[in-house]
Amino acid sequence: MEHHYMKLAIDMAKNTKGQTSPNPSVGCVIVKNNQITGVGAHLKAGEAHAERQALEMAKEKASGATMFVTLEPCSHYGRTPPCADAVIEAGISKVFIASTDPNPQVAGKGIEKLEKAGIEVDTGLMKEEADEINREFFHFISTGKPFVTLKTACSIDGKIATSTGESKWITGEEARKDGYRLRHEHDAILCGVGTVIEDNPSLTARLEDGGNNPVRIVLDTRLRMPLDSNLITDKLAETWIITTSLAEKEKINELEKHGVYVLQLESSHISIDQLLSVLGDKQITSLLVEGGGKVNDSFLRTGQFQRVVKYMAPLIIGGEKSKSSFSGEGIPLLKDTPHLKLHSMEPIGSDTKFVFYKRED
């Protein structure tokens, strides 16, 4: 039964992905005498944490009950008072915790507080599943930089367009919809000015029943971005342009007048490392990179990514002139290529979705 209740908490947390940033996704279930007396999920930064929601529902039935929570209860004052205190006050007698807090400043402190108050604490139940939900958040908290996912949709020979430039659509509708879901789950989505000029994308999540549209970020050294681009005119989400010392002041002013946030770096080149630090400072915890080929190459060569999502269509395009998902210089020696580990592989319509994680060893 313990797995059963923790799974319920995990399922709730999983379904809030994309709506809690910069906070983690957390679910909580309170059980007394084999009956669920409270459930809760953290729904939005600034609102009640999962434990408080569940305690609020359980009221006096929390006394002597067991709590199942996907992440270690917080022990410090943030935007809301510490959950560990609320758990103690409510008289919970046992707490199952799946993931421990990765934040080095608070790790273990919530558990310590509960134990000091005489509450029995069990950690690690379904830890792998729970860690997976907050992989991006854990990375952000421990590095100060967003978790980076490189997403491509290509033929089985890795092409993203034909030699005549035709790219719509390589993958089918189901795969594209899955890609929209991926956008919804990220704080920001990034492409190069090359893609903006060629494709004029809108980079929104387009989920049928609404959803979160991430901030749209364009890398543009000299501000070549056309003022009539969808990213500027559609106002469907925020657009940020990252530029350099080579950008003209007048162009910056003009873009700002159109409601675009222009972030000018001091250097004449956009270093991916610096970019990620700047985005981290702006509370972007997860970044979905949707190329094109040159931008993908920059992330590849600097090794600044954690996950690769590839939607592969059952097509072969071939040809030297047709664009590849990774272009630019590439990596000259095999020994220097990043090592990836296949996490999952699933058919989506007639395409196949592959998820790889970068191995840090």
Helix crossing, 2-14 with 50-58: angle to 10°? 120
Q: Please give the Cα distance from 283 to 305 (Å, whole number).
A: 17
Query: Which long-range contacts link 22-25 to residues 24+ away (Cβ below 8 Å)?
Result: 22/137, 22/140, 22/187, 22/283, 22/285, 23/137, 24/71, 24/133, 24/134, 24/137, 24/138, 25/70, 25/133, 25/134, 25/137
Q: What is the per-residue binding string for ligand NDP in 134-173, x denoting contact by CB under 6 A?
A: ------------------xxx-----xx-----x--x---
User: Residue 74, interface with Zn ion (CB under 5 A)?
Assistant: yes
Which is catalytic among the residues 2, 47, 51, 238?
A: 51
Look at residue 224 and give the partner it binds from ligand NDP, Zn ion, none, a contact being a CB closer than 5 to 8 Å depending on partner kind.
Answer: ligand NDP
Q: What is the per-residue binding string for ligand NDP in 265-304, x denoting contact by CB under 6 A?
A: -----x-x-----------------xxxxxx--x------
- Give least dist CB 116 to ligand NDP, A: 50
CB-wise, 13 or 74, nearer to Zn ion? Answer: 74
Q: Tell me whether residue 60 is one of the annotated catalytic residues.
A: no
- Give least dist CB 301 to ligand NDP, A: 9
CA 199 to chain CA mean position, Å: 24
User: Residue 90, interface with Zn ion (CB under 5 A)?
Assistant: no
From candidates 25, 70, 75, 221, binder to ligand NDP by CB under 6 A: 221
Q: Per CB under 6 A, which region of 20-28, 116-124, 216-224, 280-288 contacts ligand NDP?
A: 216-224
Using CB atoms within 10 Å of the CB of residue 166, give its burial: 0 to 12 exposed, 13 to 18 middle, 19+ buried. Answer: exposed
From candidates 195, 204, 286, 324, binder to ligand NDP by CB under 6 A: 195
Using CB atoms within 10 Å of the CB of residue 233, give its burial: 0 to 12 exposed, 13 to 18 middle, 19+ buried. Answer: middle
Sign of the dihedral through C-alpha 41, 46, 51, 53:
negative
Q: Please give the Cα distance from 337 to 334 (Å, whole number).
A: 5
CB-wise, 17 or 49, nearer to Zn ion? Answer: 49
Q: Which residue spans within the chain are E strands per DSSP?
A: 27-32, 35-41, 66-71, 94-99, 120-123, 147-155, 188-192, 215-219, 239-243, 261-264, 286-289, 307-313, 340-348, 351-358
Look at residue 199 and give the partner it binds from ligand NDP, Zn ion, none, a contact being a CB closer than 5 to 8 Å depending on partner kind.
Answer: ligand NDP
From candidates 323, 348, 353, 356, binder to ligand NDP by CB under 6 A: 323
**Amino acid letter, 216:** R
- Give least dist CB 135 to ligand NDP, A: 22
CB-wise, 89 or 345, nearer to ligand NDP? Answer: 345
Look at residue 49 and give the partner it binds from ligand NDP, Zn ion, none, a contact being a CB closer than 5 to 8 Å depending on partner kind.
Answer: Zn ion
Helix crossing, 50-58 with 83-90: angle to 10°? 20
Torsion of CA 84, 85, 89, 93, to 10 degrees: 20
Number of residues that bind Zn ion (CB under 5 A): 3
- Give least dist CB 76 to Zn ion, A: 9
User: Residue 192, interface with ligand NDP (CB under 6 A)?
Assistant: yes
From candidates 17, 49, 151, 216, binder to Zn ion by CB under 5 A: 49
Please give the angle made by the CA atoms of 195, 151 and 140, to the nearest 5 degrees. Answer: 110
By the criterion CB under 5 A, which residues form the site for Zn ion?
49, 74, 83
* Site residues for ligand NDP per CB under 6 A: 152-154, 160-161, 167, 170, 191-195, 198-199, 219-222, 224, 270, 272, 290-295, 298, 323, 327
Point out the residues that are catalytic: 51
